[in-house]
């Protein structure tokens, strides 16, 4: 079914107007307006799926408590996540947003629409993390224009 994934990536590239010089085998990594966006083919438990992943940036030590609390709250009831999952690579302190879905018979336009929505959510979280990182002292509150998450 990896061929189905490659076909879907070709449809997406065509819809987006991206040249097919981009590697279309899993994982497909794109830099979209400063967000590293990766699409993976996944065949766990015998079902073909797609995983969308976005890097949200690194978390500064002084902001860990506040950001981790917000990430956990977002995961608890999918608040401001669009049903995606938030996580942190403990080795690099890099935050991620990930979304897994079955690999249905999407066309390029449908996957582009889903990806655009996912990337908007990722941009909100990336901005939130960047603003929290700019605070100069440890905090449990933050002054931010991002009202997408109740904290």
Q: Which two tokens stand for residue 87?
A: 């996580």
Residue 17 pLDDT class (50, 70, 90 cuts): confident
151 within 8 A of 142, measured Cβ to Cβ: yes
Using a pLDDT cut of 90, give the percent of the chain over it: 52
Contact 111, 18 (CB under 8 A): no
Half-sphere exposure for 33 (CA within 13 Å, toward CB): 8
Do residues 87 and 95 lie in contact, with contact meaning Cβ atoms separated by under 8 Å? Answer: yes
pLDDT of residue 150: 45
Is the model's pLDDT at 140 over the cut of 80?
Answer: no
Q: Is the pTM of this model over 0.95?
A: no
What is the rounded distance in angstroms from the CA atom of residue 150 to the CA atom of residue 145?
12
Q: Angle at the Cα of 44 (from 32 to 96), degrees rounded to 5? A: 30
- pLDDT tens by residue, 67-113: 999 999 999 988 899 999 999 999 999 999 999 998 877 778 899 99
């Amino acid at each position: 079914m990896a061929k189905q994934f490659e076909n879907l990536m070709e449809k997406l590239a065509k819809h987006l107007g991206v040249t097919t010089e981009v590697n279309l085998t899993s994982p497909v990594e794109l830099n979209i307006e400063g967000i590293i966006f990766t699409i993976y083919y996944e065949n766990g438990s015998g079902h073909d799926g797609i995983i969308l992943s976005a890097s949200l940036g690194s978390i500064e030590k002084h902001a860990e408590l506040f950001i981790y609390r917000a990430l956990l709250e977002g995961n608890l009831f999918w608040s401001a996540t669009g049903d995606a999952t938030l996580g942190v690579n403990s080795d690099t302190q890099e935050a991620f947003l990930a979304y897994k879905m079955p690999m249905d018979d999407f066309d390029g336009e449908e996957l582009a629409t889903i990806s655009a929505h996912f990337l908007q959510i990722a941009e909100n979280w990336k901005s939130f993390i960047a603003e929290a990182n700019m605070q100069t002292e440890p905090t449990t509150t933050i002054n931010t224009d991002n009202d997408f998450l109740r904290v």
